[in-house]
Structure 1
Amino acid sequence: MEGLVSWLLDLVWSKPLVYGLLLTGILFSLMMRFFQVRHIGEMIRLMFQGEKSPAGISSFQAIALSLAGRVGTGNIVGVSTAIFIGGPGAVFWMWATAFLGASSAFIESTLGQIYKRQEKGEYRGGPAYYIEDGIKGKFGKIYGLVFAVVTILSTSLLLPGVQANAIANSMKNAFGVNSWIIAIILAVVLAIIIFGGVRWIANVATAVVPFMAILYILMALIILVMNIDKVPGLFALIFKSAFNMEAAFGGIFGAMIEIGVKRGLYSNEAGQGTGPHAAAAAEVSHPAKQGLVQAFSVYVDTLFVCTATALIILLAGTYNTTDGTTDSSGAPHLIKDGGIYVESADGTKDYSGTAMYVQAGVDKAFQGDGYKFDPSFSGFGSYFVAIALFFFAFTTILAYSYIAETNVSYLMRGQSKKATNIGFNIARTLLIAATVYGAVKTAELAWNLGDLGVGLMAWLNVIAIWILHKPALKALKDYEAQKKALGSGRNAVYRPDPAELPNAKFWLEDYPERLRQEGLEK
Structure 2
Amino acid sequence: MESLVKLTGDLDSFMYTYLLIIILLAAGIYFTFASKFVQLRMFAESLRVIMEKPSKEGSVSSFQALMVSTASRVGTGNIVGVASAICTGGYGAVFWMWIIAIIGGSSAFVESTLAQIYKKKDPEGNFYGGPSYYIEAALHSRPLALLFAVSMLITYAGGFNMLCAYNLQSTFSGYSFYDPSTSPVIIGIVLAGLFGFCLWGGGKRIISTTSALVPFMGALYVLISLVVILLNIGNLPMVFGKIFSEAFDFQAIFGGFTGSAIMMGIKRGLYSNEAGVGSAPNAAAAADVSHPVKQGLVQMLSVFIDTLLLCTATAMMCLCSGIAPNADLAGAPYVQAALQSTLGTFGPVFITVSMILFAFTTLIGNYYYTGNLLNYIHKGVPSQTFLKCFRVICTFIVFFGAIAQMDLAWNVADILMGIMAIINLPVIFILHRVAFRAEKDYLQQKAEGKNPVFHSSTVGLEGKTDCWEEGMHI
Instruction: Give the alignment's TM-score, normalised by structure 2.
Output: 0.90
Give the drift of 1:271: 0.4
Give the drift of 1:197: 2.6
Give the drift of 1:444: 5.3
Give the drift of 1:151: 1.5
Give the drift of 1:227: 2.5
Give the alignment partner of residue 266 of structure 2, picking from 243, 261, 270.
261
Give the drift of 1:395: 1.2
CA distance in 2, matches of 1:6, 1:171: 25
Alignment of 1:113-512 (within 5 A): 113-121=116-124, 122-136=126-140, 140-174=141-175, 176=177, 178-244=183-249, 255-320=260-325, 333=328, 354-366=331-343, 379-413=345-379, 415=380, 417=381, 419-442=382-405, 445=408, 447-486=410-449, 490-497=450-457, 500=461, 502-508=463-469, 512=471
Distance 1:106 1:423, change over 3 A: farther
Q: Deviation string for 1:285-310 (max 9, x for gaps)?
A: 11100110111110011111111111
Distance 1:149 1:251, change over 3 A: closer
Q: Deviation string for 1:309-333 (max 9, x for gaps)?
A: 1111211232345xxxxx6xxxxx3
Verify the 8 A CA contact 2:267 2:414 in the aligned structure 1. no
Q: Which amino acid aligns with 1:78?
A: G
Verify the 8 A CA contact 2:226 2:317 in the aligned structure 1. no
CA distance in 2, matches of 1:56, 1:130: 22
Give the drift of 1:52: 5.8
Verify the 8 A CA contact 1:93 1:257 in the aligned structure 2. yes
Verify the 8 A CA contact 1:408 1:423 in the aligned structure 2. no
Distance 1:251 1:297, change over 3 A: same
Distance 1:242 1:478, change over 3 A: same
CA distance in 2, matches of 1:447, 1:308: 22
Verify the 8 A CA contact 2:105 2:304 in the aligned structure 1. yes
Verify the 8 A CA contact 2:92 2:243 in the aligned structure 1. yes
CA distance in 1, matches of 2:370, 2:117: 20
Of 121-130 and 273-282, deviating more is 121-130
CA distance in 1, matches of 2:425, 2:155: 17
Identity of aligned residues (%): 38
Give the drift of 1:189: 2.8
Give the alignment partner of residue 53 of structure 2, picking from 50, 55, 69.
50
CA distance in 2, matches of 1:305, 1:446: 22
CA distance in 2, matches of 1:100, 1:91: 15
SS of equivalent residue, structure 1 residue 50: coil
CA distance in 2, matches of 1:440, 1:102: 35
Instruction: Give the alignment's TM-score, normalised by structure 1.
Output: 0.82
SS of equivalent residue, structure 1 residue 17: helix
Question: Aligned residue for 1:28?
Answer: 31
Q: Which amino acid aligns with 1:280?
A: A
> What is the root-mean-square deviation of aligned Cα atoms in Å?
2.6
Q: Which amino acid aligns with 2:248?
A: F
Instruction: Give 5+ residue unaligned stretches, structure 2.
Output: none
Q: Which amino acid aligns with 1:275?
A: A
SS of equivalent residue, structure 2 residue 467: helix
Distance 1:172 1:243, change over 3 A: closer
CA distance in 1, matches of 2:375, 2:57: 18
Q: Which amino acid aligns with 2:377?
A: L
CA distance in 1, matches of 2:92, 2:410: 26
Aligned residues: 464
Question: Aligned residue for 1:373?
Answer: none
CA distance in 1, matches of 2:7, 2:93: 30
Give the alignment partner of residue 88 of structure 1, picking from 87, 91, 94.
91
Give the drift of 1:4: 5.1
Q: Deviation string for 1:102-128 (max 9, x for gaps)?
A: 000001111111111123533221111
SS of equivalent residue, structure 1 residue 503: coil
Give the drift of 1:241: 2.7
SS of equivalent residue, structure 2 residue 448: helix
Q: Deviation string for 1:18-43 (max 9, x for gaps)?
A: 23111211110111111111111111
Verify the 8 A CA contact 1:405 1:427 in the aligned structure 2. no
CA distance in 2, matches of 1:143, 1:65: 25
Give the drift of 1:439: 2.0
Q: Deviation string for 1:332-390 (max 9, x for gaps)?
A: x3xxxxxxxx7xxxxxxxxxx521111111111235xxxxxxxxxxx221111111122
Instruction: Give 5+ residue unaligned stretches, structure 1.
Output: 322-326, 328-332, 334-341, 343-352, 368-378, 516-522
Give the drift of 1:436: 1.6
Verify the 8 A CA contact 1:234 1:315 in the aligned structure 2. yes
Give the drift of 1:445: 4.6
CA distance in 2, matches of 1:159, 1:127: 19
Q: Which amino acid aligns with 1:99?
A: I
Verify the 8 A CA contact 2:325 2:334 in the aligned structure 1. no
Distance 1:262 1:158, change over 3 A: closer
Distance 1:355 1:445, change over 3 A: closer
SS of equivalent residue, structure 2 residue 454: coil
Verify the 8 A CA contact 2:90 2:246 in the aligned structure 1. yes
Q: Which amino acid aligns with 1:222?
A: V
Verify the 8 A CA contact 1:91 1:310 in the aligned structure 2. yes
SS of equivalent residue, structure 2 residue 456: coil
Q: Deviation string for 1:178-225 (max 9, x for gaps)?
A: 444433332333233333332211111111111111111111111122
Give the drift of 1:251: 6.9
